[in-house]
Amino acid sequence: MKRDLLLMTAPVRDSFDIPCHEIGPKAAHPAAAFVAGLHGDELNGTFILSRLADFLNGVEAGKHPGLKLLKKVLIIPAVNVLGINLRSRTWPFDKSDMNRMFPGNVSGETTQRIALAVLEATKKAEYRVDLHTSGVDFEELPQVRLYSPSDAQRATARHFGLPAIMERSISPVFTTTLMHAWQVWPGQSFLLRVGQGGTVQLGHCQQVFRGLVAFLGQTGILAGVSLAEGDEEISHFRQGSSKRLYAGKAGTFVSDCQVGRWVRTGQELGYIYDSFSGNVIEKVEAPANGLLTGIRRHPLLFEGDLLLRINPKS
Amino acid sequence: MTQTTETIFSLAMPYRETLDIRRTVYTGGNGPRVAVTAGIHGDELEGLYVCHRLAAWLDELQHSNPQHLLGQVELYPALNPLGLDTLTRSVPVFDSDLNRSFPGSQQGDLPKRLAAAVMTALDGASLVVDIHASNIYLREIPQVRINSEFSDLLVPLAEQANLDLIWIHGAATVLEATIAHSLNSRNVPCLVVEMGVGMRLTPDYCEQLTVGLLHLWQELGVLAPEVVLPPLTHHPLVADDSNVHYLNAQTSGLFVPATAHWTDLRRGELLGTIVSPFHGAVLSEVRSPVDGILFTLREYPLVYEGSLMARVMARKGGAR
Ligand SMILES: [Zn+2]
């Protein structure tokens, strides 16, 4: 069922809403809440969640015999609705980052009011998942991000079946994020990072869609899910284990490497060309043995830009 | 007394060009070093003009009484040159707020490296004043914003800066990744000035602050005691989280102010209206919630439901 999280006026356009799906048995609070599109350019998450809503609505309609939704699920495919429509990462009117507006404020800025509505709808869920991509410049291997997690959270993170689980500490910049606002509530919170902004990457989306269904199965929210055939390898990386390579030179970066590959120290991963003369000015090599968990996709490099991230086997 | 312009940071861009951060340094004796930073947000220009006014004053001093500069003055008018040159508030391409990138790091992308270079350059200064010009939406009376964590040190300095308001913020609302917080945490006193409005110059405010900064520098021993300065003309009121009232739009439309900026208001007095270009009726009347003074006033007329239109400071006893 579609519900409006809140309805707001606009200066000259018609009023607009931030809609969500509520699917499954009636309950005061959802058992699981999924949020995407706080940033309007992060299309993988919005696509995945809209497809998940379609799938779960199908389960409710009896289209998938053997599957049964036992608890309520809440899905917000996009918070920054206007941003999606206008291809803007930020809230288009005042260019504010909607994931810096939490916990929100009922009488504050437009984006703080929206933030509050999102937090109110999701904070009492047992499991909360916020989907992001990297920016349009960088591609992330589909991964679960944990922020100073408990052991229980580490265990639950495996239910997504994604290739990497990465731990991070909370930086002071992130105290106004949805993830941070969730942390004070009982229950478990997860941030998924999936691919690159500005595009829908079908392979990544399918992998994460299957991951979310598996997660709902493992947590007892969706009954009848058959567990994955070949269990995929899941690597768990503790905080500080990432090896990052920054561009020593500016120029044009070209690479045909795919995220999710294991690479060896010194392996050639791409080239930096002088954008004017066309000379190769740097051969980019893997700085360590490990899993390629992220790589630069925009070819134009400023000196110092992040080229890639490798996580050694722990 | 010498004057030089030098590059403190340089970074290669994808196609041939480099990004340079430049500063102008006036060196006199071995007295204290002070600095002014501006243009960290590419849509804020008031601080650039203050730097120009200070440079003009120092040029004149160099001509007339060079021995009166006892210390060193550093002007950093354009910390975000790519943003300033392209009418962009954030750092272009990186789409990040430079004033959320501090203290930065040597490793990492442009905003982080730039921030780290600026931190290194400002290390050891006796006072840094970081000048902001609000944004394109709101007009601000010249004011200093201070984190309560550092108020004992900074309020006495701010009181001499010829400004109209000192606003002390609670520690909980502090943004830790700003240049000011990063400097103050490393024992480099930094005052944040907000004044005027984005993409415009307000010459009167700039003159007002210029006079205030010269007085501060004299107090700190950067300028000789015998330098005769224009008199201080403003003494600040003090605001904190308890007496500042925010007026956010109850509906969307065009905000039309009914009063001038920095005027006294009675509780319930009409401050402005919100109207629609489609209809003749007034959608919302904006009234002051308290007896007080209007220190923030919306400049950009279009509002969304929730947009900030004004801030009113309730008086804490006493007249202005
Ligand atoms: Zn600013």
Look at phi and psi of residue B93 and say left if phi exceeds 0, alpha if psi is from -120 to 50, else beta.
left
Q: Of all residues in chain A, what percent carry a pLDDT higher than 70?
A: 98
| pLDDT for res B319 | 42
Assess whether pLDDT exceeds 90 at residue A169.
Answer: no
Read off φ and ψ for residue B114, nearest 5 degrees. -60, -45
Nearest to A300 among B14, B90, B107 (CB): B14
The pLDDT of residue B113 is 97
Mean pLDDT, residues A224-248 taken together: 86
Determine the Cα–Cα distance for residues B43 and A154; give it in Å rounded to an integer.
44
The Cα B5–Cα B7 span in angstroms is 7
Query: Around Cβ A136, how many Cβ atoms within 10 Å?
Result: 17
Looking at this protein, which amino acid is placed at residue B204? D
Residue in chain B nearest A300 by alpha carbon:
B14
> Which pLDDT value is given to residue A314?
76
Question: For A277-291, how does the pLDDT look when each residue is reduced to its tens digit (9 = 90+)?
Answer: 999 999 999 999 999
pLDDT at position A229, please? 59
Measure CB to CB from residue A250 to each of B13, B100, B252 and give the nearest one: B13
Collect the ranges in chain B with pLDDT lower than 50.
318-320
B30 interfaces chain A, CB cutoff of 8 Å: no
**What does the pLDDT read at residue B315?**
82
Per residue in A44-89, pLDDT (tens digit) is 999 999 999 999 999 999 999 999 999 999 999 999 999 999 999 9
- Reduced to 3 states (helix: H, G, I; strand: E, B; else coil), residue B151 is helix
| The pLDDT of residue A233 | 87
Confidence (pTM):
0.92
Which pLDDT does position A230 carry in this prediction? 58
> If you measure CA to CA, which chain B residue comes closest to A173?
B177
Confidence grade of residue A149 (pLDDT, cut at 50, 70, 90): very high
CB–CB of A9 and B251 under 8 A? yes
CB contact under 8 A, B176 and A173: yes
Residue B90 contacts A, CB cutoff 8 Å: yes
pLDDT digits (tens, 9 = 90+) for A176-194: 999 999 999 999 999 999 9
Residue type, A95: K
